[in-house]
Amino acid sequence: MMLTDANMPISSRFVVRSSTMLLTVALAALILIVGMTIWLNARAERFFDAAVSTRQTKAAAVELRDALRTAESSQRGYILTGNEIYLAPLDNAKATVGREYEALKRQAHRSDLAEPMLQRLSTVIDEKMKELDETVTLKSSRKDAEVRAIVETNRGKALMDEANVFLLAIILDSDEKLSAGEAELKTNAALLRFSSIAGGLIIILFVSAMLLAIFRYTRETVQARDEIRALNSSLEERVAQRTGELMREKDRAEVLLSEVNHRVANSLAIVVSLIRLQSNSLTDEAAKNALKETQARIYAIEAVHRKLYTSGDVRSVALNEYLSGLLQNLEASMHAEGFTARLDGKIEAVDLNTDRAVNLGIILTEWVTNAFKYAYPKTPGEIRVRLSALPAKHLELVVEDDGIGRKGPTAAGGSGFGTRIVKAMATSLNANIEYGARAPGTSARLVFAAS
């Protein structure tokens, strides 16, 4: 990052180059997050396909094992009782055995099942089915002695035990694969969450650095113009000789400052768009809310610069135009997020210094956003904003609502970062902040000098 000494003035070239570099870094961070998201999604899709195949394999193995057990139970019931009612489950179980073994065989190439194991399992199942059919046929012919001889060889039990060993191995292997896949999925989700938060913080950091450079450049440009005017007033004897030259310099400075404000407004608009894109790609609600709040703050600054390059006077901002436009944007933005409160703004036609207008716009953005979020979280209502002139060249900003009210001296909710911003901006304005409870609702009042 390009740095300058705190006492060294910065040039427009520095501002443009720094802004370009910072936006490039922020865009690179955004591209990295998007790329990682796509990569992790692809891995998640592969796990999903593998998990589906593994579950199908496990289900086929479980159903095959249950069908074998049902067939063996039916055989035993018929052998012991001679009641043919036991033969109906046997026929159904035999059909299920054939169907589920075919399903298991189809899943072999997807689930890495060993071909020799499947061949042996097929042999075991065939021999078991033959043993079942043989004993049932002998029992039907009342050849109990031969049935007893076959049962006493324990051949059927040995075949059943061997089949259970194979099927249990398949089931356990499927469970291990599913557990490993779920662990990998959780790791990928944590990695995506971390990269999104880290990328968001990087973007905010570089955007803040760019805003600092822009703010400093604007302030130094205004200071340079004021110094030219002061020098001109102290050199009245040279006014006649240099009037033409000074007028040309003044016009050039005005054009330059207008161009700067135009570029600043465009750069901030790009930053707002980048933050909106970043917010849309996040899944973490805390990070998304933080980016949305940052977007609103940047818009408050961008609106000032847009007013500057479209107006004839770059030293001050017409608050009735600037704040009314800001309130319209906030209301539209909050309605788009699902909040239903209505804004009622009464702004007097007052001009305010550019830097002080930026601070006032940020304070108003924080208060109105909090009123939308915390005064009327679930129900519609009204938020009233009033800016009026007071005696002794002071201004009063009041934001009030009829919502659920405040608890304690700070904001009704959130991380507290917005409250710190409001305090910092109020300090820059040398202003007093008053929070009050209404019945019902909350009011926030700011009193500051108009110059």
pLDDT tens-digit map of 118-171: 788 888 888 888 888 888 888 888 888 888 888 888 888 888 888 888 788 888
**Tell me, what CATH number does 375's domain have?**
3.30.565.10
Q: pLDDT category, 411, cuts 50, 70, 90? A: very low
Q: Determine, yes or no, domain membership for 79.
A: yes
Selection from 347, 345, 344, 428 nearest residue 395 by Cα:
347
- The rounded mean pLDDT for the chain is 77
| Nearest Cα to Cα of residue 319 among 358, 295, 347, 343 | 347
Across 306-318, average pLDDT? 62
Higher pLDDT, 333 or 225: 333
CATH number of the domain encompassing residue 149: 1.20.120.1730
Domain count, the chain: 2
The answer to whether 305 and 57 are in contact (CB under 8 A) is: no
**How many Cα atoms are found within 13 Å in the side-chain-facing hemisphere of 89?**
16
Answer with the one of 161, 186, 211 that is the final residue of a domain: 186
Q: Is residue 225 part of a domain?
A: no
User: Domain for residue 25, yes or no?
Assistant: no
19: which 2 tokens? Answer: 């802004």
Helix 285-310 with 354-370: angle, nearest 10 deg: 150
Q: Give me the mean pLDDT over the 287-309 stretch.
A: 58
* Phi, psi values for residue 351, rounded to 5°: -95, 140
Angle between helices 354-370 and 417-429 (to 10 degrees): 150
Residue 199 belongs to a domain: no
Q: How many residues does the chain have?
A: 451
Those residues with Cβ within 8 angstroms of residue 451's Cβ, 6 or more apart along the chain or in another chain: 353, 393
Task: Tell me which residue of 222, 231, 319 sits closest to 261, measured CA to CA.
Answer: 222
Boundaries of domain holding 158:
44-186
Residue at 335 is within a domain: yes
CA distance 115 to 108: 8
Structure tokens at 145: 């002695």
Q: Which of 141, 157, 186 is the last residue of a domain?
A: 186
Q: Which of the listed residues 186, 209, 224 is the one where a domain comes to its end?
A: 186
pLDDT for the residue 440: 86
What SS3 state is found at 390? strand
- Note the pTM of the prediction, 2 decimals: 0.41
Element (H, E) at 451: none
Question: Of all residues in the chain, what percent carry a pLDDT higher than 70?
Answer: 75
Highest mean pLDDT among 34-38, 235-239, 301-305: 34-38
The whole-angstrom separation of Cα 237 and Cα 216 is: 34
Domain contains 166 = yes
Phi, psi of 107 (to 5 degrees): -85, 0
Is 163 contained in some domain? yes
Contact 64, 97 (CB under 8 A): yes
Residue 359 belongs to a domain: yes
270 token code pair = 């790009």
- Bigger pLDDT: 266 or 332? 332
Give the residue among 414, 406, 413 at the shortest CA–CA distance from 435.
Answer: 406
CB 321 within 8 A of CB 312: no
Task: State the average pLDDT over residues 340-352.
Answer: 92
Q: Rounded CA gap, 349 and 426, in Å?
A: 21
